[in-house]
Structure 1
Amino acid sequence: MALLVTVGNLCDLHVVARSFLILLSEKLSYDLKLSLLIMALFMWLQDQNNDPFVIHRLLHKSDNVALEMVIREAVHYINFLSSDSSENLSINPPFFGNPLGLTIPIKSLYQSKYTAISGIKRYLRTTCFRVFFDILSSKLRFDSSIRFLPYQLIHIPGSPNPTFGPIYFKNWPRSHVFTTNFEICSWINAQGYVEDEEDRSLYVTFSHGFSVSKDELRKLFTSNFGDCVQNVDMSHTTHSRQVLFARLIMKCVEVIDFILKGKTVAKFKIRGKHVWAKKYKCQKPCM
């Protein structure tokens, strides 16, 4: 006989994270959008450190000053991730030691910008989307523009975010019963998120008058960084048919940070001519 598991049961498994969200939005008075970004950041930090008790230790800190300093460092890091001129923000970040005893603290992650953005988006789209719905609904209950229907997708005020995209949740009935083990495991383990191609893409430009082929571009990056290229898009051309730029879709977002090394632009050479690579930015507005 199958075990019946409800949304309420799975929310109860995230009681620590739910308590932390209440602390952020009520005691520390952060707005809902920033509270969820901080929440997703610390969930991702737990992954990076292979330490499921990071949020638990933060929540139970007896020293309120230390707690607020850790949150301030997290907010600065989120601002760094959101800024186009993020190299300047990484010069003098607020470091307050390592009160959480992290193997990989925030201060070591300033060269992992795009990996962090993708990691935060993963938790916004999975755990945060799933297990905070009742808390978020109660905070928004006086917003007359929102219809709180069962299974309704509800966007957080201030969403979409230019860096992290839409921030929303589903208004789950707590009595909703999961019918498969896959659904249950997905909720518990934050599964179900696939990295956007945009998150894994580089924008590459060439010297004027210098023709570069797809094979040359692929070879440039695979010879320097291993088997990392999924696809090379050179479909956009000028009237003269000369290709001036390309979009490289990489196999994982981590390689983007490895290539850029914390810089805005990385420079390479093909047959003695310069090739410049930077993070690809989708021109479509966030939905």
Structure 2
Amino acid sequence: MASPSSCSQNEFNQFHNIDRILFTRLLVSLGREPNEAMQVMAYLIWLEKMSKDFRLVSKLLSASDSLLRDLVNEVVLALSCIEGDQFPHDSNLIKDLRLTQSITQRSVTIRYLLQNREPIVHAITKIINDVCIRAFTDIVQKVGSEKAMIKRSQINPGVQPAYYDSTRHAVQPQHNTIAQYESQNDEVSKMLKRLELSTTGAGRNVPPDERTIFLTFSKGYPISEAEVRDYFSRRYGDMIEEVCMQEVEMMEQPLYARLVVRGNAIGLIDAVLEGKGKVKFSINGKHVWARKYIRKTKSPPTSPSYSSSPSLPTHI
């Protein structure tokens, strides 16, 4: 295969097709957040290289959701330990990572991870930057669009995607047989193809104000429009229609910006905001707060009043 930098996006996706299928299961079947799912996948890819078992991720495709969920919980524990550079308070968690040992056939322990923390963090970060962002960003966008469609269908009942049940979880087999797992992963592969063909027109007629994210910056830590564009494009793909920075005098720092999401990427807003009212990002080490944009409407003019206490003007 050609080097990652020279191959097309389609060739890159085909090369990482197994990784893409498992990542989709983490989002859809297990309901994991995109950022966490990317970190988990980077860790599993690192485990695959470290154990020299280059079918490790492929083997996980046949795991039940229950088993996969337990493994992901182990991975999240491991990541929290190496990122925090300390053992967990619960002494029982210091023991060997049972499922991780089982799939790698190696004695991977939290102590081992901490003793090799720096090279492991470096390797996982490189995998996120070189593989995960490029291979998974379109899935994050399209699954986000699907979830937005499901939310709308709950408000206005209609036909839901075939692979969701009424509880908003992916429909999965009830018995753990090889044939059923193969069928399950075939359905996930088909879902990827459906997602690639769907939602291209979703949100096209939604007014810009209704697909805008409001960003606020910390005073004393200036952030440029280019930094905003680069950060969100690298994480979420081609989602930006326009970035409107606060208009300021020369040498002054903008303290807020409006990020208008493209109409066909409107489902990504939920992914960016992680379903919360407000989230914090770090762009080149500078804190940025994001929330859904709400346009302030001006109050209609009123007749002059002769109150003895005049009201102060409201500054936006």
Give the TM-score category using the shorter length.
Answer: 0.3 to 0.5
What TM-score results when the alignment is normalised by the length of structure 2? 0.43
Over alpha carbons, which structure has the higher Rg?
A: 2
More helix by share: 2
User: In proportion to residue count, which structure has more strand?
Assistant: 1
